[in-house]
Structure 1
Amino acid sequence: MTAHQHTGRDADRMAIRDRMLERVQRRIGGLLTEEHRRWAAAGHRSASLVSDVAAVVRSADDRVRAGLFLTGYLAAGGDPGAARAVDTAASLEMLDAALAVRADTRDGVALRRGLPTLHVSHAAEHERNGWRGESRRFGDTTSVLAGDLAFGYADRLARALSGAARREWENLRTQRALGAYEATVAAAAYQDDPWPAGCLALACSPGCAAGAYAVHHPLRLGALLAGRPELADVYAEYGVRLHAAWRLRGFLSGGPDYDDEAELLRDVLFDAEGRRSAEARTRELAEDAARALVPARLPSDWHAELASWASHLGATHCA
């Protein structure tokens, strides 16, 4: 999770965050297990849709959004025992699952983390059983419904949010959907650019749905839920730089959001000097992200932890 080792009190605080992440995992697992049991006991075929959502959530084993949220929350002095903090972190993971299912269906992705995506597996199920209608359409329809179900669970988990935290959640939910639309239109109109120029200028395009909304909103949400609204803007400044480092590293390492055009630009047109310059820019962005936190005057261990997110994600994690 982090790029540096902690000792003493620092380690204790990080252990609190890690235990909260374990509670998030149990909360999601408990919710989906109970939902599956409920609908299976009633004889509903739709219990299989709950299993689909569970499979997608399990496949996202990095828990980046929940980790960012909880780190921002605890750094802002949030209560580690608060159930609604765990539920909010779980809601972010469920929202990611819903958006991943929708993106896979929309983009015709066949595999996610080495496994068939939902629309592919359900199309195959339809074909094996010789059911009525078109297999591909059935796969797309059931996949969209699984996404709808995950959205419903995300909203259920976030229902305890109120005030500014609730508004931040609603902004996140709305902007990620609108960002996906912007990205789809840009790609269809040949206006998408594999080079993340807007991100590097700290002015992401509206279609940059892969990380900008998913990075700074969880951090801001953590500050607001902890009752520290004055940290929200500082976290946003940190988050936009973190996201830029993330996107540049994704481009350089061939992350999943980068297609053949990006590969051509990276491997053919980027010479050794260009790559070194881009690597240096990634490090600069990570350092800038850490400096953006200075006005917050966070406890030193949490400042170091957030700084490590910048260097770690900027160096190793693909968008």
Structure 2
Amino acid sequence: MTIIATRPTSGTELQQTRQDLLDQVEQRLDRFTDAERARWRGINPRAAQPIAAIIDMVSRGGKRLRPIFCLSGFLASGGAPESPVVVDAAAALELLQAFALIQDDVIDNSALRRGAPTIHVQQADEHSARGWQGEARRFGEGVAVLAGDLALVYADQLTFDFAPPARRLWNEMRTELIIGQHLDVAVAAEAVVDARLSRWIAVCKSGRYSIQRPLVLGATLAGRLDLADAFEGYGLPLGEAFQLRDDLMDAFGTTATAGKPAGLDFAERKMTLLLALAVERDPRIRDLLGGDDPWDGDLIRSVLEETGVRATVERTIAELVDSAVTSIAAADLDNAWKDEFTRLATLVAYRDR
């Protein structure tokens, strides 16, 4: 495949081109899910229930981080803006995110997502309100799990036109996401204290999937496999910084700001890097691991501050951002795109929601 290099553009121009594609992604998601809902509703209204749940999750907005990085990787690599395959790829990433969030909320027993009741809570409430048979909680979680599975199926359908290199990358990304989620649950259940493993899980379940893989997928769809290393050097550290910021917001943020319950990692005994470091530095946190009582969030927050763990993680984030920016500065990209990726790194690592 011959790649025709695009002329360097200003930051405003490339952002507008990407926004135009993002608008197409939203339209693609709407058309696809609306058609599926109408199709299954025609058979029986109940059959459309999981699709309505997917639409609910996707329509709540969100950062659209993965589509943004996929489109950025594609455009920065000289991909043609009129290519339909990259729109499908970005839409697929958002459906993959819906799959992950819907099922993650069940796993974490979370009541809120993006400022609204989670899918399994909505479904359980409807079960109770209508007086249906069986246990409302199990019904709600069952519908949510199936809706998540269906979102994954739909994501795969939108990747039908991927060439083999993009297909291999897509498959690896899906596998990493699920294995990372499993390890997150397993390490919490076993109370494994291993800061190195905690960092690896953060990269596996979130870092690669949020930034590096979408970037490389975009470059791969544009035929620029040679940019994979540069995007990995940028995307891996930035993806870890993204997850560490998420951990800090969970520990010190508010439900109103995050749009989901604050302190959920503590409630679910998640062994994040924050907690792993706190265990190493303070015996009071080690003592929490062996008991059955709910973790004292106020105590943990105090320890994270007093022992310098919060400051350590903030320094780690800054170092990761520096590494990402240094890597992208050396990449074979137009200067306008280098500047844009530097801007995105700051937004991702220092966001407040």
Which TM-score band (shorter chain)?
A: 0.7 to 0.9
Distance between the aligned counterparts of 1:269 and 1:62, measured in 2?
A: 28
**C-alpha displacement of 1:281:** 3.6
The aligned runs of 1:1-319 (5 Å cut-off) are 9-191=10-192, 199=199, 204-205=200-201, 208-254=204-250, 258-259=265-266, 262=275, 264-271=299-306, 275-276=310-311, 278-316=313-351
| Regions of 4+ moved over 6 Å | none
Letter of the structure 1 residue corresponding to residue 68 of structure 2: G
Instruction: Report if aligned partners of 2:28, 2:91 keep a CA contact under 8 Å in 1.
Output: yes
Give CA deviations for 1:2-45 in whole Å, capped at 9, x if unaligned: xxxxxx73311110001000100010011111112222233332
Distance between the aligned counterparts of 1:62 and 1:272, measured in 2?
A: 32
**C-alpha displacement of 1:301:** 0.6
In structure 2, the CA distance between the partners of 1:205 and 1:128, relative to structure 1 (3 Å rule), is closer
In structure 2, the CA distance between the partners of 1:317 and 1:78, relative to structure 1 (3 Å rule), is farther
Distance between the aligned counterparts of 2:132 and 2:115, measured in 1?
A: 27
Match of 1:5 in 2: none
* RMSD between superposed Cα atoms in Å: 2.5
In structure 2, the CA distance between the partners of 1:198 and 1:133, relative to structure 1 (3 Å rule), is closer
Instruction: Report if aligned partners of 1:99, 1:147 keep a CA contact under 8 Å in 2.
Output: yes
Instruction: Report if aligned partners of 2:181, 2:205 keep a CA contact under 8 Å in 1.
Output: yes
In structure 2, the CA distance between the partners of 1:226 and 1:43, relative to structure 1 (3 Å rule), is same
Distance between the aligned counterparts of 1:275 and 1:60, measured in 2?
A: 29
Distance between the aligned counterparts of 1:148 and 1:115, measured in 2?
A: 21
In structure 2, the CA distance between the partners of 1:246 and 1:56, relative to structure 1 (3 Å rule), is same
Distance between the aligned counterparts of 1:37 and 1:284, measured in 2?
A: 49
TM-score, length of structure 1 as denominator length:
0.88
3-state secondary structure, aligned to 1:209: helix
Instruction: Report if aligned partners of 2:208, 2:235 keep a CA contact under 8 Å in 1.
Output: yes
Letter of the structure 2 residue corresponding to residue 246 of structure 1: F
**C-alpha displacement of 1:313:** 1.1
Matched residues, number:
307
Letter of the structure 1 residue corresponding to residue 190 of structure 2: A
Instruction: Report if aligned partners of 1:216, 1:236 keep a CA contact under 8 Å in 2.
Output: yes
Instruction: Report if aligned partners of 1:196, 1:247 keep a CA contact under 8 Å in 2.
Output: no
3-state secondary structure, aligned to 1:292: helix
3-state secondary structure, aligned to 2:187: helix
3-state secondary structure, aligned to 2:206: coil
In structure 2, the CA distance between the partners of 1:275 and 1:129, relative to structure 1 (3 Å rule), is closer
**C-alpha displacement of 1:277:** 5.2
TM-score, length of structure 2 as denominator length:
0.80
Gaps of 5+ in 1: 1-7
Distance between the aligned counterparts of 2:187 and 2:310, measured in 1?
A: 26
Instruction: Report if aligned partners of 1:251, 1:266 keep a CA contact under 8 Å in 2.
Output: no
Structure 1 window deviating more from structure 2 (143-152 vs 261-270): it is 261-270
Q: Alignment identity in percent?
A: 35
**C-alpha displacement of 1:207:** 7.8
In structure 2, the CA distance between the partners of 1:197 and 1:306, relative to structure 1 (3 Å rule), is farther
